[in-house]
Amino acid sequence: KCVVHWYKCDTRTMDNRALHLASETAAKHQLPLLCFYLISPQDFEAHLTAPIRVDFILRNLQKLKEDLSELDIPLYVETVERRRELPSRLIELCTIWGASHVYCNAEYEVDELRREATLTRSCLGKGISFNVIHDTCVVQPGCLKSGAGGALSVYSPWHRKWCAYLNEHPEQLDAFPPPKKNPPATLQAYPDLFACKIPDAPKSKQLREEEKTRFHTMWPAGEHEARARLSKFILERILKYHEHRNLPGGNATSNLSAHLAAGTLAARTVVREARDAAPSKRLTDDRKQGHSMWIGEVAWRDFYRHVLCHWPYICMNKPFKPEYSNIEWEYDLDQFGRWTDGNTGFPIVDAAMRQARHTGYMHNRCRMIVASFLAKDLLIDWRMGEKWFMEHLIDGDFASNNGGWGFSASVGVDPQPYFRIFNPLLQSEKFDLEGNYIRKWIPELAGIKDKGIHDPYGRGYAKIAEVNGYPRPMVDHKKARERALARYKAGIGRD
Ligand code: FAD
């Protein structure tokens, strides 16, 4: 007999609620704790998981396996080719191992909730206790309500409630200790589980050798790395976060999104550590203080998950605001290709897209700029951009990505009206003042030493741009803005 923890997006030993509960149950019944992870290539396809993210998941699993084996806990990893066979394989493994209890942390996307509901029923039939635990959000979805008792879809009032809830229930931020060491006999009882190797990435998700070298240096894996990044950020940069966070050329943000998405770090951990380092131990919505501003950004991650739970139809390619379903979008693949390749002729947009291609990451301000450009200036269906981000970013996370795209395309939870359209040139001048971010990512323009870099064709640098092969702006922003306003207005007006 044994107790089992099923790993998903929570590949860590520390501060993991379901893993901790599994360990407690195992200790109570004097049973060993076994862990497993099932790789589903069809899930990777269905979820558009980027190859860089698949590679990161596999590297995290390797580190996790090493960490767990120090506690004499095996991590068994297996590839299940067919997605729909995953639940039956899970039950088969648990039956072979004689599991009395299975624990896992909840995921809130519709497919995952359905799968877990099926598993709960099937396990019951086999006499196995199947436990799905709330862990990924700092505040459990459903805990925060409006004055009238309904769900909240506007961030600011939601965030005030989020802070108040955590101030009232500070124990929600307490850490869960890592699992206890298994009985010494576990090693002999389950040699195959200890010996199993982490499989290679499925064929369609493999990186080239050159990409592997680049990404492994940029994105070291594992929870110890994640914690070290967090500590360094809190020690060196969080104090000034509110001042510099919008500048893509600096290094002001935490770069922790890949770890939060993979679950090598819990959102609870980062909020607790930031709060403990803050001048005040009470959480507030003070945007003029680095620690509270940063915690407020981490709260956006919770916010979008809560939105997903309350309005699950957003998982089905539908906009949060149903009245925005009838906007007539463009599907021009040539224009879309210029956007994905960073050849739009708008330097800030192109720098951001090239950063994403080269690193698997993009700064938040730039994500907003390129998303607005695609949806408003090009009027291309925002879902094509949402999909491209998932397919290319290391931190691709359905709720945050869908929320960010909905927000930027004005079809999501943002209470701002659709006529707030980013001007890429003004954004560029404001947030990349000296043009260093553009200079770094667009070598064609690196020779331009002044502010002409934001708009080379409009500011006397056409020759340099042309000679180096940098394109002219693919649209006139003023005209594109008017077209977008008309199209949004017509779309909303229609039945
Ligand atoms: P920091 O500024 O250090 O913030 C700390 C953490 O808070 C982040 O790691 C992240 O987990 C969370 N966070 C910060 N801002 C947001 C936000 N606006 N929404 C949700 N969570 C936030 N974030 C993802 O993790 N995955 C995505 O797939 C994703 N797609 C996005 C798409 C668009 C169009 C937009 C506008 C934003 C998207 N974001 C996404 C949010 C944000 O851009 C990234 O979380 C952030 O850039 C990551 O950098 P960081 O870790 O240095 O962030």
Active-site position among 300, 339, 388, 441: 300
Is the reported ipTM for this assembly greater than 0.95? yes
**DSSP assigned state of 65:** H
Domain 322-493: which CATH class? Answer: mainly alpha
Residue whose CA lies nearest to ligand 1 atom number 14: 297
Cα–Cα nearest to 32, from 80, 63, 73, 89: 73
DSSP secondary structure string, 135-200? -SSSS-TTS---TTS----SHHHHHHHHHHHHHH-GGGGPPPPPPPPPPTTHHHH-HHHHHPPPPP
Residues of the chain with pLDDT under 70: 494-495
The answer, yes or no, to whether any atom of ligand 1 lies below 6 A from the CB of 304, is: yes
Tokens of 272: 């607790």
The answer, yes or no, to whether any atom of ligand 1 lies below 6 A from the CB of 269, is: no
How is the beta sheet containing 99-105 ordered, strand by strand?
75-79, 33-39, 2-6, 99-105, 129-133
Tokens of 391: 């397919």
Spatial separation of the C-alpha atoms in residues 3 and 450, rounded to whole Å: 64
Distance 298 CA to ligand 1 centre (A): 8
Active-site position among 246, 329, 423, 466: 329
Q: Which is it for strands 129-133 and 99-105: parallel, antiparallel or unpaired?
A: parallel
Cα–Cα nearest to 428, from 291, 217, 247: 247
Asked: is 136-174+223-310 a CATH 1.25.40.80 domain? The reply is yes
Active-site position among 364, 423, 436, 468: 364
Task: Enumerate the CATH 1.10.579.10 domain ranges in the chain, comma separated.
Answer: 322-493
Instruction: Count CA atoms closer than 13 A to 165's CA, side-chain side.
Output: 18
| pLDDT score recorded for residue 118 | 94
- Domain at 1-135: CATH code: 3.40.50.620
Residue whose CA lies nearest to ligand 1 atom number 46: 364
Angle at 347 between CA 387 and CA 367, to 5 degrees: 35
Helix residue ranges, H only, 332-452: 333-341, 347-359, 364-372, 382-392, 398-408, 424-431, 436-441
Task: Enumerate the CATH 1.25.40.80 domain ranges in the chain, comma separated.
Answer: 136-174+223-310
Residue whose CA lies nearest to ligand 1 atom number 17: 300
Q: Which of 241, 297, 383 to mutate to test the pocket of ligand 1 (most atoms within 8 A of CB)?
A: 297
| pLDDT score recorded for residue 419 | 85
311 is catalytic: no
The answer, yes or no, to whether any atom of ligand 1 lies below 6 A from the CB of 369, is: no
The answer, yes or no, to whether any atom of ligand 1 lies below 6 A from the CB of 386, is: no
Spatial separation of the C-alpha atoms in residues 30 and 6, rounded to whole Å: 19
Q: Which of 364, 380, 394, 414 to mutate to test the pocket of ligand 1 (most atoms within 8 A of CB)?
A: 364
Active-site position among 24, 85, 225, 297: 297
